[in-house]
Structure 1
């Protein structure tokens, strides 16, 4: 199970199950066709006890409830299943249209079929690998099985570039863009957590990150500011002009926000997929990413932001420096928590050496400045799934992270020089290759160590 497939199934669940009538049913039957647990599965999406989750596959294995004697015949009564899910199966099915029609047969009239299949990627026989699918293929399947294709989208993240389809036996409206608010990881008030040891809760750094962020606003004077992860609004209150902010559960505790600030209560994934094109009327000059503290989340946020950038855009990442390994664990157990955001700097240094990375020794958990963005670069998109697999494993931060090697103070002359260059290019649109010439050789020793 690759990461983007699981993320897309979560999106199907949030848009059509959690927000609809099925969410209020006492019992919901889910049938996963071809869902043997190979490196994970969709069962975790439907983890509530009211879901009766059954998996059908051709051979017995982990998580398999029904072993099929005939790949084109499900031993299930007509119209008896609330939700059918199937991912990474269709390309291995020689006569996939027959399997699809069978899934529609067992579906209740008001149920849903969530289908995910690759539109790209290398050959991977299991035992055969026959097809890749485009949006028109799902439309053709709906015609063949006399059902409705409610929604379809093609995920650009590689190598598989999932094609996701939502089907039903009857017409169902597509949820309005931005109408679904989902919180996969509810925010935790640190005050409610038991405190770790003094060493586990230690922080360090020079100026406070909010003071550093205020200086960035003052120097750049961005026409548009974008913030991912608002929480109490203290960083958002620093915006001096037009601002767009995204958080699924904002808890504003500062004074009234500026009338030029638009706060959207939604996840960043939904924001970028559904409404970013409308909300961001121009490339943002300054972006602050302080969302969910897990590597794959911050990676996705950066990837989406880069697509909207121009030569003068500066991206700021919070929480890049844990002061103790406990603070960097993916499952939070300390009040001071950075998660594994620290891995982003190492990932970008290796995969995107064209970017300019400048870590700041701010309190309490450091900031990473990223410049030289290239909206046309597809390296991170093409390698998203293997990258997440590599970097999302629990791993203790190395000494260079804990010791903040290569980090500079927020008032270092190199920061001022970078901001001057970016401000000039934000106004003039100078080609990207000319933006950061000469700055790399001034980076302090320790930069880019892996």
Structure 2
């Protein structure tokens, strides 16, 4: 068994503001917890394939649940939280189709845009969760058979008011996306946080039996393995904590002998490319990453956000000419520096510690800094990211297979022959 990967620490004092961020990352919003009550909630969007997967899981969950389940219909996310809607929706459809068989669930049905309002209106008429799931099943069967759904003007208007009210409640409880489970003020994404959701329900004796919520089998992934010499491309941002976790996990996999050929592609963060990242999204991400990092045994929480000059400096001295393992180690150590050690990447002593912990030459890196900020490689990588049909990080490409998110690293394992 390969021993746990330990990255060297800088040994420098953390910034003051990182100590505040550490408390936020480790906390849960007490007001949201108070407002939430003891119901389990699922937020469902009529046009979202992951919402269909959640509803399919709810059918299995409901008989075991000793808490009320409330399914709330919401509209599509707004542009501030879903900035690349076309790419994101295209990815969601293919992603849900891939993961459905791995959970033993039916592949979601594409809902035509012109049918989504009527579908939502039908769902809003449900009296309870069981009734909701019955209506959803009937509507999906009708749509799959080529039938059209209809709703009268009063039903559509009532549904619109209900969707707005549900969105307000979701926002007050701290979230912004569909396909989200909410329990006692804590949020769980689709099928990817079921282990955490089950742990919370078990702690409250709210779930009958010890069986997992889903029988997940990555061997059922409907994609063929890639040839052994196919390079894995890894898009990374120094401002993305999920990228940091992914970099550490990839290092661990490579220590176990995973795919030899790797291309590391750092890019500018979304907010520095003119894409919004609202406060509610930032808070959820920090708390979610903290949960994931604790599960993975990766240090996280003492944060000094590198956005701006910190990111630009890290990109400028990125060792593009070094071997792939050194580049990956640089990403991981830089990530640990800003996401776990609370150090300011705009300081020379901090950047020097990153460079030297990677076994690289600080005087050479200092010469790069003196020559000015250089994001040309990052822009080339961004263009390749968009050409691959992706938009955010961490993202991965293995031959003709592309995916987004550290939650999909298991797919890369399944594709490794």
Q: Which structure exhibits the higher relative contact order, with contacts defined as CA atoms closer than 8 Å and separated by 6 or more residues? A: 2
TM-score calculated relative to the size of structure 2: 0.26
Of Structure 1 and Structure 2, the greater strand share is in: 1
Larger of the two Rg values belongs to structure = 1
The normalised TM-score by structure 1 is: 0.24
